[in-house]
Chains A and B, each alone.
Chain A
Amino acid sequence: ILNVEQSPQSLHVQEGDSTNFTCSFPSSNFYALHWYRWETAKSPEALFVMTLNGDEKKKGRISATLNTKEGYSYLYIKGSQPEDSATYLCAFISGSARQLTFGSGTQLTVLP
Chain B
Amino acid sequence: ETGVTQSPTHLIKTRGQQVTLRCSSQSGHNTVSWYQQALGQGPQFIFQYYREEENGRGNFPPRFSGLQFPNYSSELNVNALELDDSALYLCASSFSSGSYEQYFGPGTRLTVT
Contacts and interface: CB of A to CB of B under 8 A. Distances in A.
Interface of A: 1, 4, 6, 31-32, 34, 36, 42-46, 49, 51, 89, 91, 93, 97-105
Given A104-B42, A105-B42, 17 more contacts: A1-B59, A31-B99, A32-B99, A36-B104, A43-B3, A43-B103, A43-B106, A44-B90, A49-B100, A91-B42, A93-B99, A98-B98, A100-B33, A100-B35, A100-B45, A102-B43, A103-B42
A51 B92 CA distance: 20
A104 B41 contact: yes
Interface string B75-111: 0000000000000001010000111111111110000
A98 B56 contact: yes
30 contacts: A4-B42, A31-B99, A32-B98, A32-B99, A34-B99, A36-B104, A43-B90, A43-B103, A43-B104, A43-B105, A44-B43, A44-B90, A44-B104, A46-B101, A46-B103, A51-B99, A89-B42, A93-B99, A98-B56, A98-B97, A98-B98, A99-B33, A99-B45, A99-B56, A99-B58, A100-B33, A100-B102, A101-B45, A102-B42, A102-B43
